[in-house]
Chains A and B, each alone.
Chain A
Amino acid sequence: MNAYGDAFAWLADPGHWPGPDGIAARVGEHLAYTGLTLLIALVLALPAGLLIGHTGRGAALVIPFTGALRALPTLGLVIVLALGLGIGLLAPLIALVILALPPILAGAYAGLGSVDRATVEAARAVGMTGWQLLWQVEVPLALPLIVAGVRAACLQLIATWTVAAYLAVGGLGRFIYDALPVRDYAQMLAGSILVIVLALLADGLFAIVQRLLTPAGVRARRAGEPRRRSRLPQPVAGPSAP
């Protein structure tokens, strides 16, 4: 309990907030890194995931790839790229974009895959083109799962940017790594609490977005028993390594 007292005292100290290595700046860095990585990953993975889900093709190629990525140790990937590309943000940025791709990809194609086959056939029967089908039927119905993928990616990024602060980059991980050699447990704990609060806030925010984006009809069905079998092989849900 004493440890928490010290950590909260550290957080409450007004001297720890301003400045380039203050709490405010570190939170800003962490959010900026995470946001930028997520944006790049979205631009790369979302179209691919939607294409796979819409055509039903390519899933066999992507599933083993996403599974293999899960086995790659994050820290190792970040460091190997850092040794190749030098100091700076580029190496961890590339490594983390790679790690954020699988959950977004899986969310998108699993989302489209979970759309009832009969609904898709009905949309085609009334004469919808492939494009209309995708944007007016499949994407709205798949939106909760698509957002779930983005949510998993975002949480993973918040976690991994913390670990990546082992390199000479900013973010909340700095508080942990800078305090480790001098055994300043209060600061380590305070930094950890900040990351956890940030992660839980992001998770809560995504949960709200997910709920808001769930079509009313889908929500009614979800409350019941598990969904029916879909046309695509489903990856086991849930984010990969945090």
Chain B
Amino acid sequence: MSWVLGNWPQIWQYGIAHVLLSFPPVIAGFLISLPLGWLAARHRVTRGALLAAGGVLYAIPSLPLFVLLPSIIGTKILDPLNVEVALTIYAVALLLRTTADAFAAVDPGVRLSATAVGFGPWRRFLTVELPLAGPVLLAGVRVVSVSTVSLVSVGSVIGVNSLGFFFLDGYQRSFPTEVWVGIVGTVLIALVFDALLVLAGRLLMPWHARLRRARRRSRVPAGQQPALAEVLR
């Protein structure tokens, strides 16, 4: 504990660096996978091709990809951009299937009705398809956010520092407390990201939580009704 207090400025600094490194890949991955997933949901051919490409990209291990990227995008080996691009690739690879499934699950009847009442493709996408796919998309982004936060720490072995620094430093000094600080910090950041995503989901899709609650309530067998007070709350 005294180590934590004594080194708080450094912990804070690497914690902030960790957050800043985790943000862009999640956002970029989501924005890139939206149109690609939509495309994959429309045609069987694009679906097969895109999902296969995503699968191959996801199969590439992270550390080798960090090493490989500088020679492809022309960065320096220590450039944080390598980690950012690599994690964005994983985010897209992971989200492609989710977005494809989410858009494919939108009732074709609903889409046709939107067209029938005169919605253009853009308006239909933004006001009908996107909101309906929203809950599934959110679930996918939550998975990506957690795994991105955890993967950022691997970047520290090639000199892109985050809370992962404490793993390596703690190992070299045989000091488990320091490693634990890194682990707990990473998990905390993942939890905060997840909570923020859930909150964003509540704000953007207020109907979803209500719907799910109602559905859950109607499914509960008569013998196992929760206390009345809980239902009313």
Check if A189 is an interface residue, CB within 8 A of chain B: yes
Check if A74 is an interface residue, CB within 8 A of chain B: yes
A192 neighbours in B (Cβ, 8 Å): 63-65, 67-68
A162/B97 in contact, CB under 8 A: no
State the B residues within 8 Å of A (CB): 55-56, 58-65, 67-68, 70-71, 77, 90, 94, 97-98, 101, 104-105, 139-140, 143, 146-147, 149-151, 153-154, 156-158, 163-164, 167-168, 170-171, 174-176, 179-180, 182-183, 186-187, 190-191
A35 to B83, CA, bound (A): 28
Q: Which residue from B61, B179, B186 sits with its C-beta under 8 Å from A83? A: B179
Check if A110 is an interface residue, CB within 8 A of chain B: no
A241/B151 in contact, CB under 8 A: yes
B180/A189 in contact, CB under 8 A: no
User: What's the dominant secondary structure at chain B's contact region?
Assistant: helix
Q: Which residue from B70, B150, B156 sits with its C-beta under 8 Å from A71? A: B150
A196/B64 in contact, CB under 8 A: yes
- Interface-facing stretch out of A39-47, A212-220, A231-239: A231-239
User: What's the dominant secondary structure at chain A's contact region?
Assistant: helix
Check if A226 is an interface residue, CB within 8 A of chain B: yes
A93 to B146, CA, bound (A): 23
Contacts A71-B149, A193-B68, A242-B58; A173 near B63 (Cβ below 8 A): yes
Least CB distance from A74 to B in Å reads 7
A162 neighbours in B (Cβ, 8 Å): 61, 63-64
B167/A75 in contact, CB under 8 A: yes
> Can you list 13 A-B pairs with a CB-CB distance of less than 8 A?
A73-B153, A75-B154, A76-B183, A84-B176, A155-B59, A155-B61, A159-B62, A162-B61, A163-B157, A196-B61, A226-B101, A238-B97, A240-B147
A contact residues, range:
35 or more
A149 to B105, CA, bound (A): 23
A193 to B98, CA, bound (A): 29
A196 neighbours in B (Cβ, 8 Å): 60-61, 64-65, 68
A226/B104 in contact, CB under 8 A: yes
A176 to B62, CA, bound (A): 12
Check if A200 is an interface residue, CB within 8 A of chain B: yes
A202 neighbours in B (Cβ, 8 Å): 59
Contacts A71-B187, A200-B56, A242-B58; A82 near B64 (Cβ below 8 A): no
